[in-house]
A and B are shown apart, each in its own frame.
Chain A
Amino acid sequence: MADLTSIKAIVSRVLIVEDDSDEITFLKAFLERNLMFVDVARDAGQARAAFHMHPPDFVLCDGMLPGGVSGFELCERMKQENINVPIIMLTAIDMDDARDLAKRVGVDDYMTKPYDPEELLVRMGQVAEAVWKRKHHGDSEADEVKISFTCPDCQKKLRVKGGHRGRTLNCPRCGQPVSIPFHS
């Protein structure tokens, strides 16, 4: 059995964003057995409402969602709303491009289906702890990392400290607001 000390201490409310009923049933029962309260959203709209109204301690998000907004966009918006809520993307998409995109939108960990539920629990604990430490002890490591990106309006090359990831700045050349990505 995995050591659940850290996850029990940090995570009590989990938001599952998933449209597959069987997957929801299994995952919900599994997390509840591990003493977590579970909210379920079946698309990005429901997820954003739940995220805003009942802020979760953890999000498990599918990559492909119905309704035209993908899990990737959803994760980006949730991270912009609150960077301190850990997110694991649980998806059937087993592609390097998908992993790379998930990382860029701020997803903290990426697991492909089918997955080992016990491993999921362990990784949830690791991610929750890392995000908790980043929130409470500051992300000194992040400030040493520089994020390079370009303004989508004027294409000016910008470079900021990693600690600013997820925030918005005004481009010094064109003045347009630019979201700082999570990775270069």
Chain B
Amino acid sequence: MNPPVLIVLTGKYKGKRVKLTDAETIIGRDESAKIRVATQELSRQHCLLIVSEAGVLVRDLGSRNGTFINGTPIAEETLLKPGDTLTTGPMTFELEGGESPASKKSVASTGAKKGKFDPKTTDDDIASWLTDETSEGLSASDTTILSGKSKSPAAPVIPKPPKREFKSIAEEAEDIIRRHLESLK
């Protein structure tokens, strides 16, 4: 069975895929957290994700600012189903395997929009996401550091434009950074 995958929907890591390879994964700002989000908006150990056959169970670990599933705060252990969103502080994730972006309801709490990347999707899908409105201003400190071996595969978020000739490294770097920033919008 493939491990469940969370897709980052907000911040500068939007589009990243995080595999939940362990039976239990903690999200928080503590260094021991497997998914580390370096912001004061998160508790040190904010919530726990438990991988089960039914899906991913989410348990809030007494966090100060709460854990939200589909914009609703959870009081007890709650099942995160494919397509559901999980919000902790400034970060919103989606459990992979949900409905198409067009039929999916928007995430209310952060105003985040779809940033899902799936290698099987078509360019049209990607282009439609790029025309979505950008998310509201997020904390500049939404740095996520993942521990363990759950690194997401190298995958461009936008389709490659035709190769351009550049006069200098500076020009080429500027173009790469511009395309990267556009992919975050």
Contacts and interface: CB of A to CB of B under 8 A. Distances in A.
Contacts of B180: 64, 92-93, 95, 98
Contacts of B179: 95, 97
A147 to B, nearest CB: 16
Given A64-B177, A112-B154, A114-B143, 12 more contacts: A93-B176, A94-B15, A94-B154, A95-B156, A96-B156, A97-B172, A101-B172, A101-B173, A104-B169, A114-B35, A114-B145, A115-B146
B72 interface: no
Interface residues of A, number: 34
Q: Which 5 A-B pairs have the closest CB atoms?
A: A72-B173, A70-B173, A114-B144, A22-B38, A22-B141
Nearest to B8: A114
B145 to A, nearest CB: 5
Range of interface residues on B (Cβ < 8 Å)? 20 to 34
B147 interface: yes
From B156, B167, B169, residue with most partner A Cβ within 10 Å = B169
A174 B152 CA distance: 47
Nearest to B174: A70
B17 to A, nearest CB: 11
Contact of A101 (B35, B146, B176): B176
A71 B172 CA distance: 12
A156 B143 CA distance: 45
Nearest to B181: A64
Interface in B11-41: 12-13, 15-16, 35-36, 38-39
Interface of A: 20-23, 25-26, 63-64, 69-73, 76, 92-99, 101, 104-105, 112-119, 152
B148 interface: yes
Contacts of B145: 26, 113-117
Contacts of B156: 94-96
A104 B141 CA distance: 31
A46 to B, nearest CB: 18
B149 A116 contact: yes
Contact of A94 (B143, B157, B167): B157
